[in-house]
Structure 1
Amino acid sequence: MDESRALRRTGWAGLASVVLLVAGVVLGYLVGVDDPGMSDAAIIERLNDDARQAGAGVGLPVLAAGVALLLWFAAGLRRVLDRLSGGDPLAHVVVPAAALFGGLIITGVSLDVASAFAAWSDEFTADPDTVRAFGMAGQVVALTGLIGCGVLVAVTTRIAQQAGALPRWVIWWSYAVAVLCLTGFWSGGMASVAFGLWLIGAAIGVLRVARRPPATQAVPAAGDGVG
Structure 2
Amino acid sequence: MDESQALRRAGWAGAASIVLLVVAVALCYLVGVDDPSMSDEDILARLNNDARQAAAGVGLPVLSAGVALLLWFATGLRRVLDRLSGGDPLAHATVPAAALFGGLMITGVSLDLGSAFAAWSDEFTADPNTVRALGMAGQVVALTGLIGCGVLVAVTTRIAQQAGVLPRWAVWVSYAVVVLCLSGFWSGGMASVAVALWLIGAVTGVLRAARRTPPAATTPTHDAPAPETR
TM-score clears 0.5: yes
> Could you tell me whether the CA contact under 8 Å between 2:90 and 2:155 is conserved in 1?
yes
- Taking the aligned partners of 2:77 and 2:211, their CA distance within structure 1 comes to 15
1:154 is aligned to: 154
5 Å-filtered alignment, 1:1-227, equals 1-214=1-214
Q: Give the superposition deviation at 1:139.
A: 0.2
Deviations 1:95-137, CA, capped at 9 Å, x for gaps: 0000000000000000000000000000000000000000000
* Alignment TM-score, normalising by the size of structure 1: 0.93
Q: Give the superposition deviation at 1:185.
A: 1.3
Deviations 1:20-61, CA, capped at 9 Å, x for gaps: 111111111111000000000000000000000000000000
* Alignment TM-score, normalising by the size of structure 2: 0.92
- Taking the aligned partners of 1:29 and 1:133, their CA distance within structure 2 comes to 16
Query: Gapped runs of 5+ residues in structure 2?
Result: 216-230
Counterpart residue identity of residue 109, structure 1: V
Counterpart residue identity of residue 32, structure 1: G
SS at match of 1:214: coil
SS at match of 1:183: helix
SS at match of 2:34: coil
What is the total number of aligned residue pairs between the two structures? 215
Q: Give the superposition deviation at 1:213.
A: 4.3
- Taking the aligned partners of 1:133 and 1:27, their CA distance within structure 2 comes to 20
State the percentage of identical aligned residues: 83
- Taking the aligned partners of 2:201 and 2:71, their CA distance within structure 1 comes to 16
1:218 is aligned to: none
- Taking the aligned partners of 2:213 and 2:13, their CA distance within structure 1 comes to 21
- Taking the aligned partners of 2:83 and 2:2, their CA distance within structure 1 comes to 16
Q: Give the superposition deviation at 1:214.
A: 2.1
SS at match of 1:126: coil
Deviations 1:151-172, CA, capped at 9 Å, x for gaps: 0000000000000011111111
Runs of 4+ in structure 1 over 3 Å off:
none
